A = this chain, B = another copy of it.
Amino acid sequence: METLYKGKTKDVLRHKDGSIHLFFKDDMTGKDGVFDPGENQVGLTVDGSGRSGLAVSRYFFERLNEKQIPTHYVHADVENNLMQVKPVTVFGKGIEVICRYKAVGSFMRRFGAYAEEGQDLNGYVEVTLKDDERQDPFISREALELLGILTQEEYDTIQRLTKDISDTVKDELAQKRLELYDIKLEFGKDKESGDILLIDELSAGNMRVYKGEDPVTPFDLEKYLLG
């Protein structure tokens, strides 16, 4: 397969039949060898972490498909770290949408004067630009429109999908007595239909999950979820 794009934790490949596939690498975001889904750089490499992230992603994408929530997911080949996806275009140079149930991470670093660590945030949604050079800045609905990145209608659709997807993941985790603190989603537009789709992955790499007082590690998430 041809490599179209090399990402931090995944590469985008094109099969000779034209289909698009994500290759889940064993690189994880974090800092100084410590895993952190809130970090924006590769911090460690762990054998089998790509396969594990793909197995968890497959589980969640299949739940979303059952609920008819539109995603780019087509099929997963877990043993080969490959997920086939629909071709999409992204918004601007890419946006990330965060849904927060508990006040942790960058929310506390910004709003700690007004919030207690761990307080309920009821699925508060915010958007960042994918821009390593500028540390993925937060951006308002108004600025997204001003800069031609999202129309108001697209923003509303993405906000609604983010709530539906995040609530689905939260409910799935709750059935395993796990708690979702926050989750970071990406969206694109289906190149064929123009529909807005959830893209990227759905694994420990883009969510903070707790069991009681303790953060759940990526491999433990797979174990709790898939047995």
A interface residues (Cβ-Cβ under 8 A, vs B): 92-93, 109-115, 121-122, 124-126, 129, 131, 133-134, 137-143, 146-149
Contacts and interface: CB of A to CB of B under 8 A. Distances in A.
A121 B146 contact: yes
Contacts of A131: 113
A140 B111 contact: no
B124 A142 contact: yes
16 contacts: A92-B113, A93-B114, A109-B134, A110-B134, A110-B139, A111-B139, A111-B143, A111-B147, A113-B133, A114-B129, A115-B147, A124-B146, A126-B140, A126-B142, A140-B140, A140-B141
Interface of A is mostly: mixed
B121 A93 contact: no
B124 A137 contact: no
Given A110-B137, A124-B143, A140-B140, 7 more contacts: A93-B113, A109-B134, A110-B129, A110-B134, A112-B134, A114-B149, A141-B141
A38 to B, nearest CB: 16
A175 B124 CA distance: 44
Nearest to A140: B140
Contacts of A111: 129, 134, 137, 139, 143, 147
A-B CB proximity, top 5 nearest:
A110-B137, A114-B147, A140-B140, A113-B131, A124-B146
Nearest to A148: B114
Contact of A113 (B114, B129, B138): B129
